[in-house]
Amino acid sequence: MKMFANHRHHAGLTQEAHRALPFISNTDLSNLKAELLGKPNTPNPVALTFGSHFHTATLEPHRYARTEELCDWSLVETLAAEVRRQRYCRDLLFRGQAEQTHTATHAATGVPVKIRPDLLHVSPRIGKVGLVDFKTTSARDYAGFCATIEQYDYDRQAALYADVLGATRFTIIGVQKKAPFAVWQVELFNIPGLFEQGRKKYTRLLRAYAEQSAGRLLAPKSAA
């Protein structure tokens, strides 16, 4: 059974235009989860800036440039260089489509969603779809990084993205933010039960969003 319908690829859409689409993103699901738990998210603007520039330097180096924003530019460039030193990562970056927006409708709830995978690659022989996501991490070792997959709901993101795009492979590349700046590869489809768990997570949140939206529509309007 397909979890999503009405899939559409928005080729060439900018990050700003992606954010403006009135659909639900994985970040929106994180914010909804925090709201439901009574712990509203308070994003760290410096961390968001760092992450954005790291992804640009790694995925679209032709667009990367230092700005006047507060950011550890040297670290951004060091981590991007470490990624590109890995032959496996270089191959993925060469073959993959970076930062492409896709939208779809969740079949069970009718909620429209939007996703923007770091990299999407399609097998030239059999057409299988693989996804790659780059994460910076403060973990001290590989085991510590793997422990963050559930902690930060990477399983939910992976399941959402894979179900929208029909992917059969999802690779997370973890990049250590402190020396020795290790680069770790985790194949999420190799972890038993992970996608089922992630799917349950995003399904619960999409149902909660649909219920909230229906409640707002049904709420009586106050007199003018």
Instruction: Indicate which CATH number applies to the domain containing 178.
Output: 3.90.320.10
What type of residue sits at position 44? N
Residues facing 105 on adjacent strands: 5, 112
Tell me, yes or no, whether 223 lies in a domain.
Answer: no
Tell me, yes or no, whether 218 lies in a domain.
Answer: no
Domain count of the fold of the chain? 1
For the ranges 20-24, 42-46, 198-202, the lowest mean pLDDT is seen at 42-46
Tell me, yes or no, whether 219 lies in a domain.
Answer: no
3-state DSSP helix/strand/coil % of the chain, to nearest 5: 50, 20, 30
Question: If you compute the radius of gyration of the chain from its CA atoms, what whole number of angstroms results?
Answer: 18
Q: What is the C-alpha to C-alpha distance for residues 189 and 37, in angstroms, rounded to an integer? A: 29
Q: What is the C-alpha to C-alpha distance for residues 22 and 93, in angstroms, rounded to an integer? A: 29
Count of H-run helices and E-run strands, the chain: 8, 8
Q: What is the C-alpha to C-alpha distance for residues 199 and 202, in angstroms, rounded to an integer? A: 5
Q: If you count them, how many residues does the chain have?
A: 224
The phi and psi torsions of 175 (rounded to 5 degrees) equal: -120, 115
Q: What is the C-alpha to C-alpha distance for residues 37 and 12, in angstroms, rounded to an integer? A: 36
What are the tokens at 97? 């489509």
Burial (CB < 10 A; 0-12, 13-18, 19+), residue 221, is exposed
Tell me, yes or no, whether 109 lies in a domain.
Answer: yes
* Model pLDDT for residues 92-142, shown as the tens digit of each residue: 999 999 999 999 999 999 999 999 999 999 988 888 999 999 999 999 999
Domain boundaries, position 204: 4-210
Tell me, yes or no, whether 216 lies in a domain.
Answer: no
- The pLDDT value given to residue 217: 58
What are the tokens at 86? 């890995």
Is a pLDDT exceeding 80 seen at residue 87?
yes
Tell me, yes or no, whether 220 lies in a domain.
Answer: no
Is a pLDDT exceeding 60 seen at residue 28?
yes
